[in-house]
Amino acid sequence: QHASGSRELCKLEGVADHPGPSSPSMPAADDKVLVSVEVCLKPSSTARAEDIRAAIERMLEQRSMTYVNGPIPVPVDDSFLFENVKRIRICDTDEWVENHRVLLFWQVRPVVHVYQLSEEGPGEEPSGDDMLSSFNEWILPAKEFDGLWESLVYEVGLKQRLLRYAASALLFTERGVDPCLVSWNRIILLHGPPGTGKTSLCKALAQKLSIHFKSRYSWCQLVEVNAHSLFSKWFSESGKLVAKLFQKIQEMVEEENNLVFVLIDEVESLAAARHAALSGSEPSDSIRVVNALLTQMDRLKSWPNVIILTTSNITTAIDIAFVDRADIKAYVGPPTLQARYEILRSCLQELLRAGIVTNYHDVSLLNYSSLKETMHTSETAGELERPLHLSRLLLEAANACQGLSGRALRKLPFLAHSALTNPYTCEPSRFLHTLIETARRELSEQK
């Protein structure tokens, strides 16, 4: 059933000597579907990743389970795993599930990734006495970005596409594909309206790749540069900043076991600075800074172990020399109805978990696909009635939120809560009614 083309791709994916990135829509060499199983170790664990991986593989072999995204319990009867493992999570099956529905154990070849989160927090580099800090630096996978990838909801395929793209780019480099014959680079541009999760998606992607490539690169780092802050004040200083910053990045990439992600946020400010300089309203120093940045980026590009991630809030054509440099340009738009529903559902579930919204009847909300399906069947059994009622209300809320960004949606439940007359006992359907009113108010204030 699978075309031989995807078989070829899958050979590229299945890196022989270490488990590479996996993608559920690609069959493995034996026609099984590759599924990532991410295993997060406890901060205290000193176990070797190989031992954990072997133990997890044995555990999965013994289970006849259905593979869906989400956590699976750490087995209590395996003291080695129980002592060392904080969480096991099945990832990236959504595309498969969307197209083919269930994914059963015998269809799957799990690719186990073992990692430990860095708790170090961001290292900041102050850019001078009275200037904004120009960049942040994290060791990946970082505690701050734990769960970020899962929390971002887009139409099916977007996250997978980015993941696959970056994984292919790293693989091409690793296999030494000659760039004169096949050209590719490692620059990604996400553009779209503000608040659609572009910056978060870049960070989440870096985190994800750091987990999936753990066995190839022993160190992963993320450097976040705010392009806007580079131009905040003194252009003469900016020049020095850019030089200093890239020198630091250069040192990082020279170490071949380092995988370095450079995130440049709001790249449109580079274009703006250039325009302003050309029209004479800014000192021409700014042109030099932009050019320095572009030159430095070009220089970085030749290193195999660096991925440059960029974002822009400009939705139309970004007229900047830089755009040509990006290999993948993905538009990240406002959340669709399904995404709005899922974002709000995750918010509500979190409030239920925290006991802010009280769930006397212990109902769980249906996911969007199940809800759609149930809506087509006219008869609903008694026990389904309540979850269905709440899920329908949630859908009404998601409908009412058309026009709000992902960022605004994540804030909405808080605003709704603060609008309640009695914030201490709040029953889900009352909460959802307030949420709908709050969404309408927010939207009318946007106008």
Q: How far is the CB of 291 from ligand ADP (least distance, A)?
A: 25
Q: Report the C-alpha gap between 216 and 241 in whole angstroms.
A: 31
The least CB distance from residue 138 to ligand ADP, in Å, is: 15
Q: Please, are residues 252 and 123 in contact by the beta-carbon 8 Å criterion?
A: no
User: How many residues form the binding site for ligand ADP (CB under 6 A)?
Assistant: 18
Residue 117 near ligand ADP by CB under 6 A: no
Q: Within positions 378 to 437, which residues make up the interface with ligand ADP, using CB under 6 A?
A: 406-407, 410
**Closest to ligand ADP by CB, 10 or 394:** 394
Q: Closer CB to ligand ADP, residue 164 or residue 191?
A: 191
User: Smallest distance from the beta carbon of 433 to ligand ADP, in angstroms?
Assistant: 23
Residues 234-273 that bind ligand ADP (CB under 6 A): none
Full 3-state SS string of the chain: CCCHHHHHHHHHHCCCCCCCCCCCCCECCCCCEEEEEEEEECCCCCCCHHHHHHHHHHHHHCCCCECCCEEECCCCCCHHHHHHEEEEEEECCHHHHHHHCCCEHHHEEEEEEEECCECCCCEEECCCCCCCCCEEEEEECEHHHCCHHHHCCCCCCHHHHHHHHHHHHHHHHHCCCCCCCCCCCCEEEEECCCCCCHHHHHHHHHHHHHHHCCCCCCEEEEEEEEHHHHCCCCHHHHHHHHHHHHHHHHHHHHCCCEEEEEEEECCHHHHHHHHHHHCCCCCCHHHHHHHHHHHHHHHHHCCCCEEEEEEECCCCCCCCHHHHHCCEEEECCCCCHHHHHHHHHHHHHHHHHCCCCCCCCCCCCCCHHHHHHHHHCCCCCHHHHHHHHHHHHHHHHHHHCCCCCHHHHHHHHHHHHHCCCCCCCCCHHHHHHHHHHHHHHHHHHHC
Instruction: Find the binder of ligand ADP among 15, 81, 140, 153 (CB under 6 A).
Output: 153
Stretch that binds ligand ADP, among 162-170, 188-196, 210-218, 420-428 (CB under 6 A): 188-196
Closest-by-Cβ residue to ligand ADP is 406
Q: Which is nearer to ligand ADP, 305 or 312 (CB)?
A: 312
Q: Are 299 and 293 in contact (CB under 8 A)?
A: no
Residue from 14, 24, 335, 428 touching ligand ADP (CB under 6 A): that is 335
Contacting range for ligand ADP; rule: CB under 6 A; set: 20-28, 102-110, 198-206, 374-382:
198-206
Q: Which position among 37, 223, 289, 343 is part of the footprint of ligand ADP (CB under 6 A)?
A: 343
Interface with ligand ADP includes 154 (CB under 6 A)?
Answer: yes
Nearest CB to ligand ADP, comparing residues 26 and 205: 205
Question: With CB under 6 A as the contact rule, which of the stretches 130-138, 177-185, 197-205, 208-216 interacts with ligand ADP?
Answer: 197-205
CB of 41 or CB of 222, closer to ligand ADP: 222
User: Exposure of 361 by Cβ count < 10 A (0-12 exposed, 13-18 middle, 19+ buried)?
Assistant: exposed
Q: Does 152 bind ligand ADP (CB under 6 A)?
A: yes
* Spatial CB neighbours of 158, under 8 Å, sequence gap ≥ 6: 330, 332
Only one of the segments 119-127, 128-136, 195-203, 381-389 lies at the binding site for ligand ADP (rule: CB under 6 A); that segment is: 195-203
Task: Using CB under 6 A, pick the residue from 159, 191, 198, 208 that binds ligand ADP.
Answer: 198
| Least distance from ligand ADP to the Cβ atom of residue 147, Å | 11
By the rule CB under 6 A, 348 interacts with ligand ADP: no
**Binding segment (CB under 6 A) for ligand ADP, from list 146-154, 205-213, 222-230, 267-275:** 146-154
Pairing assessment for the beta strands 123-125 and 135-140 based on DSSP bridges: antiparallel
| Residue whose CB is less far from ligand ADP, 141 or 335 | 335
Report the alpha-carbon distance of residue 7 to residue 9 in Å, rounded: 5
Q: Which span sits near ligand ADP by CB under 6 A: 54-62, 126-134, 190-198, 280-288? A: 190-198
196 is an interface residue for ligand ADP by CB under 6 A: yes
CB of 190 to ligand ADP, least distance (A): 8
Q: Which amino acid is at 315?
A: T
CB 92 → ligand ADP: shortest distance, Å? 16
User: Do residues 97 and 104 lie in contact, with contact meaning Cβ atoms separated by under 8 Å?
Assistant: no
Minimum gap (Å) between residue 330 Cβ and ligand ADP: 12
Residue number, 28 or 148, with CB nearest to ligand ADP: 148
Binding mask 294-313 for ligand ADP (x = CB under 6 A): -----------------x--
Enumerate binding residues for ligand ADP (CB under 6 A).
Answer: 151-154, 194-200, 311, 335, 339, 343, 406-407, 410
